[in-house]
Structure 1
């Protein structure tokens, strides 16, 4: 009854960086002057016929166990429809800096709680084939590994990698799913972990040691009080604080918030925007800009848009 009523994490299955690199599905990305190789998922789906079958097979196994899944191929099409991929590619050519990598944008559109990263290799043993796999469950906000399943299937005459993979992971999947659900239940109770940074524009005349409001409190104290009131169980850690910046880590934000009588998923941008709106109120009149860095980090820049 408990698990039937509990909310399930949303999941998206992706081929691992190792699998993409080994099979040549990578592209160069200019990350603020540093060239990085990142997976080219779109090319992988277009050129590797087994990839769609493998992911579809695992999607089916997960769906049978009551876990909602995001279809990665559909998410990529949504990105293309919004011309997001064109923007990502042009940033490589122009060398301009961006706040989110292409992988972050993919996660943002998918809005999945957990990323299942899959690696597999197939070896030939005479007329038979044998598959070795590694399945990792990653928190899409922090990239922390929360579940894993790995093993080697029995040799088989099957020619389909999807069927070989199904046979290999079946004995591991239930324990893997239990780990995912346990982690999600912990998030539901204790909040999702994110990072929040506070900065100021150079031309703003105030700083975090300036006093505001009817109580004439320092701005840094006002912000910490708000976090204490709005995080799950008041959990956050002030890692650094000066007159010009503050860094909060292990900030536990709720998974959901209520709007118009419906529960909606809370993300870092929504949570930080609430803080920005609070500071913009008549008690403080502080205008600020919110900048997101992937799913799990956001920055408020005080003193203007």
Structure 2
């Protein structure tokens, strides 16, 4: 009788616990065509970012001019949704961006007039708030009446741009003429291992934090302040390093460059979410550092310059 009661209690506890396992947060994904695919289909734009010419994929043009792209993205969205991954739709995200005003394009620092360095791709990722970008590239092989797909699917961390999962190969020849069907047939066997790698990466983020880069720079404006200026017997650079140690996940960060006018922290592990549940990015973390620098006895004005989801610059000493 005692064993029966214990078993009943254990079954009841498992019944309560099982839903909570299913409610664990999974990374949000967004599927985009690769740069190679966009270039081959003449969907690249040349943009000037802080005086540097860069080739940027034009996703809006790609979606408007290639019917197969929309269908392929929809098919991969479906395959990922079947495995429980939340998705951000590329076309809807682009429409959201078009409704956003052009604040960043006209924003300048009050003193030096510096602009914000954010590419259209950075803006897309910021609006989507996706944790992982699924970059897809494919080509159609024709052999008589049969066709097959050679594909490459990469999972990229939207903050660090590091590849965290991948699948590639060529599907079996088929009489089907529909590219989305060929894509599904080609990638189906690899999707479980692919999503397993995505889960492993997100588990690592939950445990060790998101990886970003934080830069701090003294402007050339004649001020006496630099990172060797002392407050209560400690140099400013030392105080900032201590703040990093106290506010990163498991004190994980690397100070890869340090001069009297410049500090570079990379591999900075920040929490995935603010206390209110909103996703945290490099800018959100930098603003916390800004509050610290503004506090007494430092009383230092700073300007936060957004450089994308995973990188942010603080101009120290002016706003």
- The TM-score with structure 2 as length reference comes to 0.87
Contact conserved, 1:10 with 1:113, CA < 8 A, in 2?
yes
Q: After TM superposition, which residue ranges in structure 1, 4 or more long, deviate above 4 angstroms?
A: 83-88
Distance 2:104 2:308 in 1: 18
CA-CA distance at 1:13 after TM superposition: 0.4
What secondary structure sits across from 1:248 in the alignment? strand
Q: Is residue 139 from structure 1 mapped to residue 153 from structure 2 by the alignment?
A: no
Residues 261-301 of structure 1: CA deviation (Å, up to 9, x unaligned): xx221111011100101111133211111111111111111
Select between 163-172 and 28-37 the one with higher mean Cα deviation. 28-37
Whether contact under 8 Å (2:28, 2:87) holds in the other structure is: yes
**Pairs aligned (count):** 293
Q: 1:286 to 1:87 in 2, by over 3 A?
A: closer
Say whether the 8 Å CA contact 1:31–1:98 is kept in structure 2.
no
Q: Which of 122, 130, 133 pairs up with 1:112?
A: 130
Change (3 A) 1:103 1:232: same
Structure 1 contact 195–249 (Cα < 8 Å) conserved = yes
Q: Give the match for residue 91 of structure 1.
A: none
Larger radius of gyration: 2
* In 2: Cα distance, 1:4 partner to 1:68 partner: 13
Partner of 1:277: 291
Unmatched 5+ residue regions in structure 2?
1-17, 107-113
- 2:219 and 2:82 map into 1 onto residues whose CA distance is 52
Q: CA deviation at 1:83?
A: 5.0
Partner of 2:7: none
Q: Is 1:56 the equivalent of 2:113?
A: no
Q: Does 1:16 align with 2:34?
A: yes
Aligned: 1:79 with 2:97: yes
Structure 1: unaligned runs, 5 residues or longer: 89-95
CA distance, structure 1, for counterparts of residue 51 and residue 297 of structure 2: 41
TM-score, structure 1 normalization: 0.91
Which position in structure 1 is the counterpart of 2:229? 210
Which string of whole-angstrom CA distances, capped at 9 and with x for unpartnered residues, describes residues 131-174 of structure 1?
Answer: 11100000111111110001111111111101110111010001
CA distance in 2, matches of 1:281, 1:83: 32
1:7 aligns with 2:25: yes
Distance 1:144 1:281, change over 3 A: same
**Mapped partners of 1:228, 1:15: distance in 2:** 38
- Counterparts of 2:49 and 2:313 in 1: how far apart (Å)? 18
Per-residue CA deviations over 1:73-115 (Å, capped at 9, x if unaligned) read 0011111122559969xxxxxxx97511111111111111100
Are the equivalent residues in 2 in contact too, given 1:19–1:120 (CA < 8 A)?
yes
Partner of 2:251: 234
RMSD over aligned CA atoms reads 2.0
Asked if structure 1 preserves the Cα contact closer than 8 Å seen for 2:116 and 2:306, the reply is no
User: In the TM superposition, what whole-angstrom CA distance separates every residue of 1:187-217 from its partner, at most 9, and x where no partner exists?
Assistant: 11011111111111223221111112xx332
1:258 alignment partner, SS class: coil
Partner of 2:110: none
Change (3 A) 1:126 1:109: same
Matched residue of 2:274: which SS? strand
SS at match of 2:134: strand
Q: Is the 8 A contact 2:44 2:57 kept in 1?
A: yes
